[in-house]
Chains A and B, each alone.
Chain A
Amino acid sequence: MTRSARRLLPQPVPAVSEPGEGTSNGAATNGAAPVVVKPGRHREATLYHALAGAGAGGKRTLAELREAALRAYEELELPVWRRSGFWSTSVQTLDLDALETSVTEDGVPDVVTRTLPGAARAGRIVQSAGAVVHVELEEALAERGVILCSLEQAFEQHRELASEWFCKRLPIDRHKLEAANAALWTGGVFLYVPQGVVVEEPFEIVYAIDRPGVAQYGRTLVVGGATSEFRVHEYDVAEDFTGQALHANAFELYLQDGARCRLAQFQDWGQGEVYDVSTRFVGVGRDAYCHWLPALLGGHLVRQHLELAVMEKGGDMAFRGVFFAEQHEHLDVFAVDLHETGPSGGDVHWRGTATGESRASFEGLIKIDPGAQQTHTYLQIHTMMLSPKARVDAIPSVLVSADDVSASHGGTVGELDETAIFYMQTRGLDRAAAVRVIVEGFFEPLIAELQDEALEQLVRERIERKLAAARADIEAYATSR
């Protein structure tokens, strides 16, 4: 789908066989006729090789992992991701040598107190640059065995637990910044919710950058014990500064049998030249459930590699996402709905828009592994065009290696509906207000799924602010059509 496709086309869904498997048994029961494809010549082939896979952890110690990663870091160039000739994400404009990893503890940055809602929480941990500067946890939860601390501290005080899960599914050397993270991370976040513990309020994880010249290597490990229930809200925020900074994150979250987690991320790196190159992996265990919703609302160059994997039978998940790129921002999302065994359920639903001269690309992949029978999943991506020079691409794909499954995708490319604008104007709303109603209405189905009023409000306000900033631009586009 590109901007030339107006309004919406439900996409027929070709079932694409896995590379090397030949052409005959791609059998997604999506109602479309099977499509014969040549193996290995598709974009999907590249995607397939990009997946996290087994993870670098295993029997290696933290020191060994750091050492291996350091070697990779020194050998590799800054990455460029290319796709089909018309899209590339290059981090080579980043002057990595000029950045510093600072571990000075100089308090919670203003941008954190200014941005985060003051609503009730179970705990909060804040990393500024390379140091954890604030940790709080409700006492009652600590007494029940909940752990919230820096990952460094976890490796000292809960070594066995941390080692068991660390890098279980995350690799350390696919590109230079992933290697840099694995080699050089400091601070970090460790959250452990023991078996059976149910926590109503969110755990807040904050990564903040308050000045240029910083390379922040974020590292988060979250483990939900069997039948635990909890929420995690991550905030990625920065001051509006002039100059470059880097946030490279490696995030992993594992849910054990029957655990349930609502994971949300609020990301807005502000006006500085912040590069964010992150990998996130969420693994859903037996009969476990995860609702994951990143709200990617700003950053000079953002590359997010996101995988939500049902790792064991009966796992279920809802993978949501909201993005809004503005000005000259560049956003590249690769989101994978991965089913390693069945029966399993998946439901992917993303919505995004772009203003100014920004670029946003969402690539969504459904991957159903051999043997993951009785998997049912659906991927939908909706985009809205608001600006003449912005570009949004949405590329859904499906890789199916089991024959008793249903997997399909769909999406829409929308533009502002002039009839709807006129309709609202006849009720007294001015044009800008009408546009805001349409765009907010476009995002609302997902924002409402956050099920947290304070966070919902924050996301709504941020979208409203970005729309107001792009008002002239949106007007120019609307009248040029």
Chain B
Amino acid sequence: MADLEIKDLHVRIEEREILRGVDLEINRGEIHALMGPNGSGKSTLANTLLGHPAYEVTQGSIVFKGEDLTEAEPHDRAKAGLFLAFQYPVSIPGVSVANFLRMAINAKRDGAGGDPINVKEFRTQLQHAIELLDVDKAFTSRHLNDGFSGGEKKRAEILQMAMLKPDVAILDETDSGLDIDALRTVAEGVQKLHDEQGLGALIITHYQRILHYVQPQFVHILMDGRMVLEGGVELVERLEREGYDQIRQEVAAAAGASGV
């Protein structure tokens, strides 16, 4: 049984069905890429996996490490070891990055029946994460995402991921709007966390760019709320050559041929 098992997932938002039967399995230590055109349901999947209240699961299940999380509260999913890096990280004025990280770590430890992290241990971990991700130390005393540039926000997401050590992280178009330097930092960060901590990741992206810096083992293509193609990294190259339209036509043709 895989660590994260998504089975026949149907999701609607405001009476509109966005996901129409998604199956996906992700294990710790695996890097998956999820690609698809705009409106295919990529962000819906990301938000649904973390339990965003606006998305209603009408069918199917999300099981993580043997625990059914389909109806769980978002914070319980986080405590279980899931993480979502936001496409548009939210600013939290009045709370420094470091303080927020400490709160989040303690919430997680508290959930596991542990004591709050001690100051020294926290500093050590923070220092390590800072070096790993090549961010400025002053960064951690700024208010979270408040007045951050696009690139800084995405780095802050990866920094949180490094500190919270999830088993599986979902990165929702983390690459969008980044210049090449920021993109490289983010991608290398994910790769390092994968190599060092055995992070499993689902990298959701509209483009191929980020996949030049972090190598997925599995590639999934989502269209109209369904997984239409799955394979290895060669799919990325094919997509680069042919584009979504070509693939869409083939899928339609195949569906027609099989009489679906």
Contacts and interface: CB of A to CB of B under 8 A. Distances in A.
B206 interface: no
Contact of B75 (A425, A438, A441): A425
Contacts of A428: 75, 78-79, 104, 107-108, 111, 164
Contacts of A417: 90
B57 interface: no
B107 A441 contact: no
A427 B75 CA distance: 7
Contacts of B108: 428
A428 to B, nearest CB: 4
B69 interface: no
Nearest to B86: A423
Contacts of A430: 73, 75, 107
Contact of B95 (A419, A422, A426, A437): A437
A418 to B, nearest CB: 8
A174 interface: no
Given A427-B78, A433-B107, A437-B103, A443 B94 contact: yes
B104 A429 contact: yes
A422 B92 contact: no
Contacts of B52: 422
Nearest to B79: A428
A177 to B, nearest CB: 37
A37 B47 CA distance: 52
A441 B165 CA distance: 25
B171 interface: no
B74 A425 contact: yes
A136 B103 CA distance: 40
A429 B107 CA distance: 6
B93 interface: yes
B50 interface: yes
Interface string B56-95: 0000000000000000011101110011101001111111
A420 B92 contact: yes
B160 A425 contact: no
Contacts of A445: 93-94
A440 interface: yes
The binding surface of chain A is classed by DSSP as helix
B113 interface: no
A440 B96 CA distance: 12
B75 A429 contact: yes
Q: Max chain A CB contacts within 10 Å: which of B94, B103, B108?
A: B94
A431 interface: yes
A324 B160 CA distance: 32
Interface in B94-129: 94-95, 100, 103-104, 107-108, 111
Contacts of B259: none
Contact of B92 (A424, A433, A443): A424
A442 B93 contact: yes
Contacts of A419: 90
A85 to B, nearest CB: 35
B53 interface: yes
Given A433-B103, A433-B107, A437-B103, A426 B94 contact: no
Interface string A426-459: 1111110100011011111100000000000000
Contact of A427 (B51, B53, B94, B104): B104
Contact of B78 (A418, A426, A441, A443): A426
A422 B52 CA distance: 7
A450 B74 CA distance: 36
B46 to A, nearest CB: 10
B188 to A, nearest CB: 22
A428 B117 CA distance: 15
Contacts of B53: 418, 422
A441 B104 contact: no
Contacts of A427: 75, 78, 83, 100, 104, 107, 160, 164
A441 B95 contact: yes
Interface string A124-159: 000000000000000000000000000000000000
Given A428-B107, A429-B75, 9 more contacts: A422-B53, A423-B92, A427-B100, A427-B104, A428-B108, A437-B100, A437-B103, A440-B95, A441-B93
Closest 5 CB pairs of A and B: A441-B94, A444-B94, A425-B74, A428-B78, A428-B107
Interface of B: 50-53, 73-75, 77-79, 82-84, 86, 89-95, 100, 103-104, 107-108, 111, 143, 160, 164
7 contacts: A425-B74, A427-B104, A429-B103, A431-B75, A441-B93, A441-B95, A444-B94
